[in-house]
Amino acid sequence: MKIHSVKFNAVMNAILTTSTFIFPLITVPYVSRVLSVEANGEVAFAQYVVQLIMYVTVLGIPTYGVRECAAVRDDSQKLAKLVKELLVILGVATTICYVLYVIAVFTVPQMSGNKALFMIFSINIVLGSLGVEWFYQAIEQYSYITIRNILFKAMSVIGMFIFVRQSNDVIQYAILLVFAVAASNMVNIARLVRILDLTHVKTGKLQIKKHVKPVMVFFIANFARNLYQNSDVVLLGFFTGNYQVGIYQLVTKIKSVLFGGVNSVGNVMMPRLSYYLKGGNKSGYYDLLKKNINFLFFISAGLEAYILLFAEDIVRIVAGEAFLSAANPLRLIGLVVVLACFNVITGVQMLTTMGREKQMALATVVGAVASVVVNVSLDGALGALGAAIAAVCADGVIMILQLYFAFSVVKKVFSLKNFIKIVVSSVVATMLSFALIEFTALNWILSFIVGSMLFGFVYLLCTICSGEESVRYLCKVVLRKLRK
């Protein structure tokens, strides 16, 4: 199997990330207008409950598997043995979790009232667990991952326009959401047996026990992370109702698009960072981290400033006037994207690649506890806004702890001067765009279009003029390509 360069993988992930952005831009406005706020909340509640169960079934293997498979990817025998061992662990965990989930569907009042919806989403518990996405990330098959994802997402989107036409088409919508994930994972499984000889290759006696401890450490970190990222919707469902869940699910969809971009860059870098450390290439490790931290903060800081300005307009365009109360929660979620940027770098790219996942786990557990406490305290009174505040608190706590744990590396790759350049550029772009909005008589559509163009132009111009490192590097790459 050909291993492409980091630049090629980054391009593939950029395409995948773009598709992750584009497809919701197509489906969310459509579904939000066809289905009611309550119906959207009903689907989101079931979907997020299943997602929490899925995070339990996969344990810590999505992260652990990437790191370990990347280290032995050049030895097909060791790789096959490792994959078989991890699949055994996944099979046992999936069986236990699925049985407990079915029992809950028939006994918990908030779930038993809509058994059909919960059972449809349960398909993803099995296929999501055994879909081995971590294997393809470890061997850096990002072109395959990108093409496969885009294909099935496109099929799902087309299906939504065909089958989701009325306000009561909730089941059809759920089936199409499941299809996009389940079909991808089925292809993953079929392709795995062609790449690796899991049946005939001599792997010796499987050593399951040696994986249990590190897998559980990653599980604690991953589950805690996903608990604070997804429990807000579930807790809203228990403490409020489908309307507040419907409002907040719009925010979470926008957040997932934005966070997906940050997280995809983190995932594509992790195998190469692990490879550099294993090979003793510390200069390459630090150089890649420095470029990455500058680029991610440049993107996330710009997004936060933009969302702060245009939250109402974004909600109007994406979902319509019925969802306008999602604007203030969305502003807070913009801040979460910035915090998540640092958390991906310090947690996934630094602590995990250095084998210090216990520290990442500790930070994530504390953040998850903070999320649950704030959600329980505020959701009943503030609804969706309370859930957004909880998200900010959780990511803020995790950022502080992970910066402390990874400080020895952070101080070598973090540039305060470059950080200030980005902050100043975003402030200038925000102030000029705000002035345009406030002191012109444009309607909201023209104000949004012109203001967005001005914001993007000023932000980019300021970063270029100030010599911000990631933009300067991108400009050099572009100029080099143009000269060829």
Q: What is the DSSP string of 372-414?
A: HHHHHHHHHHHTHHHHHHHHHHHHHHHHHHHHHHTHHHHHHH-
Residues 6+ apart with CB under 8 A from 370: 228, 390, 393, 394, 397
What gap in Å lies between CA 8 and CA 31, rounded to an integer?
A: 34
DSSP 311-347: HHHHHHHHT-GGGGGGHHHHHHHHHHHHHHHHHIIII
What gap in Å lies between CA 297 and CA 345, rounded to an integer?
A: 10
More confident residue, 139 or 91: 91
- Segment 214-250, tens digit of pLDDT: 888 778 767 777 777 777 888 888 788 778 888 888 8
Q: Please, what sign has the CA dihedral across residues 102, 103, 106, 112? A: negative
Q: Give the per-residue pLDDT at 10.
A: 64
What gap in Å lies between CA 473 and CA 464, rounded to an integer?
A: 10
Cα-Cα end-to-end distance for the chain: 29
What gap in Å lies between CA 349 and CA 68, rounded to an integer?
A: 14
Q: Give a yes or no: residue 471 inside a domain.
A: no
pLDDT reading at 266 higher than 60: no
Cβ-based neighbour number of residue 420 at 10 Å: 12
Q: Give the per-residue pLDDT at 455.
A: 92
Q: Give a yes or no: residue 260 inside a domain.
A: yes
Q: Give a yes or no: residue 472 inside a domain.
A: no
Q: Give a yes or no: residue 436 inside a domain.
A: no
Q: Which domain holds residue 143?
A: 6-414
DSSP secondary structure letter of residue 166: S
Q: Give a yes or no: residue 456 inside a domain.
A: no
* For the chain, percent of residues with pLDDT exceeding 90: 10
Q: Give the per-residue pLDDT at 204.
A: 63
What gap in Å lies between CA 310 and CA 231, rounded to an integer?
A: 27
Which residue's structure tokens are 């402030």?
A: 427
Which residue's structure tokens are 């096959």?
A: 80
What gap in Å lies between CA 114 and CA 155, rounded to an integer?
A: 26
Question: Which pTM was predicted?
Answer: 0.71
- Extract the tokens encoding 94: 């999936």
What gap in Å lies between CA 366 and CA 69, rounded to an integer?
A: 29
Q: Give a yes or no: residue 362 inside a domain.
A: yes
Q: Which of 57-71, 260-274, 358-372 has the lowest mean pLDDT?
A: 260-274
CA angle 180, 91, 182 (to 5 degrees): 5
Q: Give the per-residue pLDDT at 457.
A: 92
Q: Give a yes or no: residue 462 inside a domain.
A: no
**Chain mean pLDDT for the chain:** 82
Number of domains into which the chain is organized: 1
* For the chain, percent of residues with pLDDT exceeding 70: 89
Q: Give a yes or no: residue 82 inside a domain.
A: yes
DSSP secondary structure letter of residue 199: T
Q: Give the per-residue pLDDT at 267.
A: 59
